[in-house]
Structure formats: structure tokens, C-alpha cells
Amino acid sequence: MPRNRAAPERPALTVDVVIFRLADERLETLLVRRGFPPFKGRWAIPGGFVHKNESLDAAARRELKEETGLEGIYLEQLYTFGDPKRDPRGRVVTVAYFALIPGTAAARAGDDAAEVGWYPLIKLPEIAFDHKNILQYALRRLRYKLEYSAIGFQLLPSEFTLAELQAAYEIILGEPLDKRNFRRRILEADVIEATGDYRSGTVGPRAALYRYRPDAVAEVKARRLFP
Amino acid sequence: MPRNRAAPERPALTVDVVIFRLADERLETLLVRRGFPPFKGRWAIPGGFVHKNESLDAAARRELKEETGLEGIYLEQLYTFGDPKRDPRGRVVTVAYFALIPGTAAARAGDDAAEVGWYPLIKLPEIAFDHKNILQYALRRLRYKLEYSAIGFQLLPSEFTLAELQAAYEIILGEPLDKRNFRRRILEADVIEATGDYRSGTVGPRAALYRYRPDAVAEVKARRLFP
DNA sequence: CTATAATCGTGTCAGAATTACACCATTTGG
DNA sequence: CCAAATGGTGTAATTCTGACACGATTATAG
């Protein structure tokens, strides 16, 4: 808290929300095409100014809803980027968040005229500002958290099969996992429970459906899921 | 990045730096006594406004130097607190950092008239603003990082004995560690190396001195030191 | 000078956790 | 009804973790 009496700089303050989803066997993120300079035509992480009397979390949640129409989504603060030169128009400090949206939630492509699109992280278009840094940072954090907490479920619909869950982990981590070991660990971690229903795949036996047990989060945080 | 054209709110932006040290077998933090309302007389985390053309990291480093006279200190961004009501005078968003200063560095008590003091985290005085939250958050992060990375060395002088290192870990984690297991793990992690010198303690055999291998940090981050 | 008390440094073993690995049963579609 | 894809299951070898004790060294007090 300031003790000096110098006039404070009052930078513009934005939140940027890195929104992840799983689609087409890839991890994708939502980007917005800029219609004005600077970086006209390049793609940016969706975000906007923090309003008066609005907390940072609330601003991020509002942005997320504006872009996707979704509420009740997993959202966490990532990092704050404040390099004086990161926006050529002047000082803009941004608090970056990342959000995970369940695969099924057909996030609509934004409710305003702006051009928006989902891009796989492995094949990003030309990115504006320092947003490539932010995306990389978000991906690192996602992978990291995936190993230690139950965050992976947030990218799946409320009911899913173990094969789907494993596929989600493999996509995000970028490496194959052993089926039997995966199942053992996930089940021993006690973070999911069978719904009792089954899903008929295209071919082969029916797969048991599971759901996430939200009350289990706290317990898991301490112990690595995938060492 | 903002797409809407609404006038941005421009909150005051500060950095607050939670500064930790080890002293008297305790983990201590540097606090500043407030001389003016609000929270006059209560203790706050040292911090101040971010200057024009100054990055957030640079601002934190500057604050750290102003308070302690120290440079080249371990410093990392912690979290950004932006609740609209966190400062009764108006909107102040603060980017919190935490710093670890080596035990020997006799941080001077600040270079201006303000009253500053080191307080053990287990016995804090009356705290201003939401700074108690920030301190708790910083402690949680410190403990967490201690288990996964080689951060603990930052609280010791450049050369130290294994007993001193173990004591540091025990103080921060708040629990005793087994001597032989501790030594095995630390040495196998390959993050420290013997200097070849020895220190004569008050009594007993001479203890080998070790130094931290800064190039080892990257390797360690992946693997838990103390599971 | 000697006795005492504190500290340094070291190894093993049991139990737990992790990894690697293969096959049969079921279901759908041709 | 046959083929092809997928679901589900167990074990053995290895590695990791945690518990545990004592002899050698040095400073200090008497």
C-alpha cells in the first residue's frame, strides 16, 4: 500500500480471458479478430476494460459471458501483464484469466459484430499484442494444474466415459497415457463416480458414464493425480 | 484486449511486496506502520504506486530496494487483488509480489521516516486493508513452491550447511523432517553442491558447506522435492 | 587435561507407489 | 454371421518413500 504521496499513475485496466475448449481432438482457444489498429487484422484474446465497482473476477466472468454466452464456467486468475510497451497506444495493464468450457457447451461465436473464432493452440493465427505470451503461459498453467488437481473435468460435459476423460488428458498433456493405469488412478482419487448409465458408442461394448464430484476438489489438490 | 469503446476506468495501480526472511527460527515478514487514515496505526505490506513507463516487476523491485536496500533478490508475482472496496479511499488495484531475502542480508529498516518492522507470521500485529489475505496467500504459495522447486535456498546465505537448510524447510513447512531422508533427497535432486569448505559450529564436528547451483532450477521444477 | 554435551554424517529395510504389459467380451455394421 | 472397434480388467517387477540409531568429532566447562 502506498506510503509516498506522489500522484499515482492510473493505467487503463483490462481483463483478458483465455478460453479453452476441446474440439476435434485438439485444445482450442477463442480469439477475436481486431478490426482497428494497432494490430488490425490480427487475433487477440477476448477481453475488455474493468468497470467501475466491478471486481476483477466479475469483469472476467462478464467478458466470458459476453463472448460465449456461458455462465458457471471454471475460471481462474492467471497472471498480470503490465509492461509499459505492451500496448502501443499507451499504458494498459491486463489481468489475464483462463477459463475451461465443457466440450458440449456450444459456445456461440460472440454476440456482437466482431469476428471471432476457435483456433487450435498448435496452429495459431497471427496474434496481436503480447497475447502469444499470455496463451503460452495459460497452456503451461493448464498442463501443470492438470497433473495436480481435478481441473480436467471442466473441459468435458457433465457426464462422460473414462475413454473420453483419458483422451482429454492426452490431448492437453500431448502424450499418450496407459489405459489401465489411468483408470486406476482416476478411480482411486475418488473424484468421479459412476452415474449407473451407459453410452452406446458406434461400435463395441457400452461404456459406463461417470460424473465429476465437485465436493472432491479440495481433497485432490494436495496429491498429484499423474506423477 | 478491449474491443468495446467505452471509456476505461483508470484505477490507481500499486504493487505490494510481501518480503519474507528467516530469523529467530521463525518466518518473518516486513511490515510498515501506517501514519495516516485509513487504518492509521495498523500495519501494511510495503508497496507503492507503479510509475509511468515502469513494468510491474520493476516497480516491485524498486519497492523492495527502497524498503530493504537489497537488489538481486528472489521476487515473483503472486496475485492481483482488485476488489472495488478493498481501499475505502477509492479504487486501488494491487499486484502482489513476494520476495525471499537471504538470512544474512541485514535488511535495513527502510530509508524513510516510516516505522517498519519484521513480524513473525505466526504472530502478526493488526493488519491494514486486505493485507492479511495477501499474507496468507503468500505463505501458502511459499509452502507450496518449497515442495516443488528449489526456492528454499533463497532464504539462506550463499553458503550454508545441510542442517541450516533443513531448519529452514522445517520452519517454513511448520513440521519436522527426517534428517537422513532430507539429506538424501536434497543431494539426489542435485540442486546444491559442496563448496569443499567447512564451518566450525559452536560444538561438535565441522559441517560441510554447500552452495546453491542456480542452473539447476529448471530441472527441479518438474519433480517434487518433498512429496 | 579430561570429561561432557552437542552436533555431524551415514545405511538399511519394509511397505507403498508406480510402471509396463495383453487379452477376452461386447457391440455395431457390413 | 463375421469383422473390426472399443470397454474393461490384474499382476509382477521396479522404484520410491518413510522409519529408524549410532559412532566420530569438536568446543567448552571444570
Q: What is the pLDDT of residues A124-168, one digit of tens each?
A: 999 999 999 999 999 999 998 888 777 889 999 999 999 999 999
pLDDT < 50 positions in chain B? 2-5, 218-227
**A196-211 burial, b for 16+ CB within 10 Å, e for fewer?**
eeeeeeeeeeebebbb
- Residue spans of the domains in chain B: they are 12-147, 150-221
Helix, strand, coil % (nearest 5) of chain B?
30, 30, 40
Beta-strand relationship, A92-100 and A12-23: parallel
Instruction: Indicate yes or no: CB of A55 within 8 angstroms of CB of B114.
Output: no
pLDDT at site A204: 92
pLDDT reported for residue A220:
46
Looking at residue B200, its pLDDT comes to 87
Residues 6+ apart with CB under 8 A from A173: A143, A146, A147, A226
What's the grid cell of residue A70? 456461458
HSE on the CB side for B52, CA within 13 Å?
4
> What pLDDT is attached to residue B103?
80
Any strand C atom closer than 7 Å to B70 CB: no
Q: Domain A12-147 classified CATH 3.40.1360.10?
A: no
- pLDDT of B190: 87
Q: Which residues of B touch A30 (CB under 8 A)?
A: none
> What confidence score (pLDDT) does residue A77 get?
98
Domains A12-147 and A155-220 alike in fold: no
Q: Are B37 and B117 in contact (CB under 8 A)?
A: no
Closest CA to B223 of B140, B111, B113, B148: B148
B151 exposed, middle or buried (CB, 10 Å; 0-12, 13-18, 19+)? buried
CB contact under 8 A, A14 and B3: no
In this structure, CATH architecture of domain A155-220: Orthogonal Bundle (1.10)
Separation between Cα atoms, residue A144 and residue A219, nearest integer Å: 17
**Is B115 a known active-site residue?**
yes
A118: pLDDT confidence band, cut at 50, 70 and 90?
Answer: very high
pLDDT for the residue B105: 67
Question: Per-residue pLDDT averaged across A17-44, rounded?
Answer: 94
> Nearest-CA residue of chain A relative to B130?
A1
Beta bridge partners of B146: none
- List, for residues B188-211, the tens digit of each pLDDT value: 988 899 999 999 878 999 999 999
Closest CA-bearing residue to C1' of D24: B205
Contacts of B79 in chain A (CB under 8 A): 77
pLDDT of residue A104: 65
Protein residue with the closest CA to the C1' atom of nucleotide D19: B178
pLDDT at A150: 79
Residue A167 neighbours by CB distance under 10 Å? 16
pLDDT of residue B164: 96
Measure B161 CA to nearest chain A CA, in Å: 30
**Tell me: the pLDDT tens digits for A182-215?**
999 999 988 899 999 999 878 999 999 999 987 7
Residues of chain A neighbouring B60 (CB-CB closer than 8 A): none
CA distance to partner chain A, nearest, from residue B105 (Å): 24
B170 CA to C8 C1', in Å?
18
Residue of A49, A79, A131 with shortest CB distance to B9: A49
CA A34 to chain centre: 21
The band of A223, judged by pLDDT with boundaries at 50, 70 and 90, is very low
What's the pLDDT at B132?
Answer: 97
Other Cβ atoms within 10 Å of A125 Cβ, number: 12
Tell me the average pLDDT across A4-11.
Answer: 69
Q: Which residues touch strand D (CB under 7 A)?
A: A 161-163, 179-181, 183-184, 198, 201-208; B 178-181, 185, 200-206, 224, 226-227
CATH, domain B150-221, list 3.40.640.10, 3.30.590.10, 1.10.340.70, 1.10.10.10: 1.10.10.10
Contacts of A167 (CB under 8 A, 6+ apart): A25
Share of chain A above pLDDT 70, in %: 87
Burial letters for A11-24: b for 16+ Cβ neighbours within 10 Å, e otherwise? bbbbbbbbbbbbee
Nearest CA in chain B to A128: B1
Distance (Å, rounded) from C-alpha B179 to C-alpha A8?
50
Which pLDDT score, from 0 to 100, does residue A148 have?
79
pLDDT of amino acid A146 = 87
